[in-house]
Amino acid sequence: PHIRTFYEEAQTCKVKGAWPLVNNDYLIVQVTNDPVEGNTDATATSKLTVIVKGNPECTSANFQTYQAQSNSLPGTFENGHVTYGPYGSLELIEVEPGRHVEIHIRYIETVVIVRQIGRYFTFSIKMPEELVNKTAGLPGDVSNDLDLCVRGCPLSEQINYQEYLAKRRFARPSQTRTSVSSSSSSSSSLSDSSDAKYSSDGNSPGEPLVSRAYAEKVCRASKLVDFYFDSCVFDLMATGDENFTLSALSSLQDVVKFHPSAARTMDNRTTLDLYDKQYGN
Amino acid sequence: CHVERCSDEYESARQDLGIDGPGPHDNTLMCTVLRTYRHCMITTPGCQGEISYYSLRSIVRRLMDEHNCTTVGQTVEPSETKPRPPMVPAICLYKGKPVYRHCSLFGD
């Protein structure tokens, strides 16, 4: 999946299996990522667990757990509750059943958004800066060293999406899927004969499932910018699944809502010129 | 900081006492609602550092001066038909710097 860390680093990662996203004094978030159908090492999030640590004064002394798995985005915490504490200090809001929930942890002004798009999840969190890294662990405790939201992905887990896109700039798409998801309303209107969407000339690793030109057209129509545009193009080329366009769009909307100043500094797109030149031939 | 709740109560009290239209209004009644407003504001927790809170507080102080109100005197009892939601104790309100970080994970 693509990650934008608390420190505004944007990465595309493999991170297959279970990984921690956040682990501090207030909450733990863990994800499980499964390989996606396609010709890359890419994975997407199929399971997500949020554990809100206890707060005796405002909610309760116990941890509260929220768990979502593919095709199950519950509208309550694990024990069926939606609010905790006499002041609603911890509240789970089901914004759109089965598709969008928000967890508001009011005593630390933190909001977690979980969306299910297709089979996979998107995650966003807004948290006060001074609490992000607050861990009262034992001396030498390195428990948050692998938190993806804090440290980003380890180098060995990173995918250079710019190189991937540049190397396949003119690649003809392979046909590994019998059909392409058409949940995005833009897809049908964008299909045109000049942009080869599929061909049947083999299936070697890393070959795109749709052409870069086609993917760019779909992503541009969704008004995606910057890292979110390239992520969308990468996802479409890697899987041919247009659900991922909506995933990038939702994530961009969360940034605009949570972090307007970051949104103002976004470029129309990240530059691929260097990579396009390098792999142009 | 739920200072807007004090403003709502102030407006509501003015309506109840029939002094919500254009003035001039009876000074005694105005002082009663302004004292109520002031009392609500000084007992609302978690407003340290909120600009809106300090602005409103200075407005109330100015209005009280204009109407020669004393700080001690009659106030409006909270209406029984409009119960106030429980006041959030200060410990359950975040009082740190309002500077936020954001993280997201999406796509493949």
**Tens-digit pLDDT profile for chain B (108 aa)?**
778 888 888 888 888 888 887 777 888 889 999 999 998 888 877 787 778 888 888 999 999 998 899 988 888 876 654 666 667 888 899 989 989 999 999 999
Asked whether the beta carbons of residue A3 and residue B91 sit closer than 8 angstroms, the reply is no
Name residue A137's beta-bridge partners: none
Q: Are residues A256 and A226 in contact, defined by beta-carbon separation less than 8 angstroms? A: no
**Per-residue pLDDT, A137:** 57
**Per-residue pLDDT, A82:** 96
Cβ pairs A/B, distance under 8 A:
126
Pairwise CA distance, residues A28 & A63, whole Å: 10
Asked whether the beta carbons of residue B88 and residue A238 sit closer than 8 angstroms, the reply is no
**Per-residue pLDDT, B78:** 66
Q: What is the CA radius of gyration of chain B?
A: 18
Interface membership of A44 toward B (CB under 8 Å): yes
Name the residue with tokens 């991170």. Answer: A15
**Per-residue pLDDT, A215:** 92
Interface membership of A215 toward B (CB under 8 Å): no
> What is the bridge-based pairing of β-strands A17-23 and A90-96?
unpaired
**Per-residue pLDDT, A20:** 96
Provide the token pair at A140.
């030498």
Question: Scanning every residue of chain B, which has its alpha carbon at the shortest distance from the alpha carbon of A120?
Answer: B107
Predicted complex: ipTM over 0.95:
no
Question: Scanning every residue of chain B, which has its alpha carbon at the shortest distance from the alpha carbon of A44?
Answer: B108
Nearest to A119 by CA among A97, A93, A96, A99: A99
Pairwise CA distance, residues B104 & A9, whole Å: 11
**Per-residue pLDDT, A141:** 54
Interface membership of A87 toward B (CB under 8 Å): yes
Which amino acid does the sequence have at A45? T
Provide the token pair at B14.
């003015």
Residue A163 backbone phi and psi in degrees, to 5? -65, -40
CA distance A94 to chain B (A): 19
- In the predicted model, residues of chain A with pLDDT beneath 50 are 138, 176-205
Asked whether the beta carbons of residue B105 and residue A148 sit closer than 8 angstroms, the reply is yes
Interface membership of B24 toward A (CB under 8 Å): no
Asked whether the beta carbons of residue B102 and residue A89 sit closer than 8 angstroms, the reply is no
**Closest by Cβ to B107, choosing from A1, A58, A148:** A1
**Per-residue pLDDT, A104:** 96
Show the CA angle centred on residue B64, arms to residues B60 and B65, nearest 5°: 120
Neighbours of A143 (CB within 10 A): 13
Nearest to A89 by CA among A116, A54, A134, A135: A54
Q: A38: which chain B residues are within 8 Å (Cβ-Cβ)?
A: 108
